[in-house]
Amino acid sequence: MTAHDLFLLGGVFPGVSPGETLRRLVGHAKAAETGGFGGVWVAEHHFIEYGANPSATLMAAHLLAATERIQVGTAVAVLSNRHPVALGEETAMLEALAPGRFRLGVGRGGPWIDLDVFGTGLSRYEHGFEEGLRLLVHWLSGEEEVSHTGEFFDVLPVRVMPPGNGRPVWVAATSEETARLAGRLGLPLLLGMHAPDEDHAALIGAWRREAEAHGCDPEGAEHVSTHLAQIGASTDIDRLRRTLSELLNRGVGQYVSLRPGRAERDHAAYVDWMIDRHAAGSAERVAERLAVSAEATGVARQLLFVEGLGDPEAVRDNIAALGETLNTPPGTGVRPVRAAPAVSNRDPK
């Protein structure tokens, strides 16, 4: 059975300050816990209103302290901006402070100006992701000492403190190249909202072939995919089209690329596509659409983007409705408060 968590983007909607946006995420995480969800995953963005959270690990730490049982993940921490050892240390510390409750998801990011601001550069983004990921996984493997010599990183032998515990790192993938890299390392995929089910299934297929070729268990990975999820009447869905289009037009337009000639996207058409492809409408349609997607892709967990209406009361109502719909055993009418499922202790290879 597919599990469901929330995906908290932290977009800045009109009339709301970035600080208030960040504080709202705390309330959404608490609502997820009340609604019977097993976890929440938080996004990371820099210098744009599409997402006000610049540190997924720092926000995860706050949410772990503000909740009691749910797991908290990063979707994603941008590895191209970070030294893998620094990110590994933060991960191990969160796992030590909240055992079994933290999940690390990482991604390559984009060719944005933050690469220049943080001094990592476009070359690191284009060519250094595999080396950074391998060093991060090595740091978290449970070994007492780690050293590394490579093109982008040189690490003298140092003690790993606090030690890692070998839990998996989720890898955001939008290309077959990245999916294959994750497969070689036996690391699960984190798939975004932008692509149809058949594209996700193809990426998982590429991952599986590479994992099998490198002796990794293809059944041991807990792949996740991200979905717009909004329960509501037709008036709510019409409002969702407007609010999401406003957020995308303003927030995504603030990206500054280090590559010239970036193509502009028709955000209204993209929102229409997302609402048609994803889970928006009646509770029955939402549940059916998520189930169809899970069957088509085989993912173990779906992350639900629930903030599309912007207004915190509307978001909390949506979380509660989704909890009632997805977390209630058939025929009981009673929603359980589920314990967060344990993260696998499998040592990534």
344, part of any domain: no
* DSSP secondary structure code for residue 19 in this structure: H
Task: Quote the Cα angle for 118-122-124, to 5°.
Answer: 80
Comparing C-alpha atoms, which of 114, 118, 28, 117 is closest to residue 70?
A: 28
Residue 265's pLDDT is 77
172, part of any domain: yes
Between strands 154-159 and 145-149, the pairing is antiparallel
pLDDT 10s digits, 83-129: 999 999 999 999 999 999 999 999 999 999 999 999 999 999 999 99
pLDDT band at 261 (very low <50, low <70, confident <90, very high): confident
Dist CA 44 CA 52 (whole Å): 8
206, part of any domain: yes
pLDDT band at 334 (very low <50, low <70, confident <90, very high): very low
335, part of any domain: no
- CA-based max dimension of the chain: 60
293, part of any domain: yes
Dist CA 220 CA 208 (whole Å): 11
By three-state DSSP, how is residue 210 classified? helix
Tokens 């892709």 correspond to what residue? 297
**What is the domain count for the chain?**
1
- The residue segments making up the domain with residue 254 are 3-326
340, part of any domain: no
Would you say 72 and 312 are in contact if contact means Cβ atoms under 8 Å apart? Answer: no
131, part of any domain: yes
Provide the CATH number for the domain around residue 83: 3.20.20.30
Residue 339's pLDDT is 38
341, part of any domain: no
Kindly tell me the burial class for residue 238, based on how many C-beta atoms sit within 10 Å of its own C-beta (0-12, 13-18, 19 or more): exposed
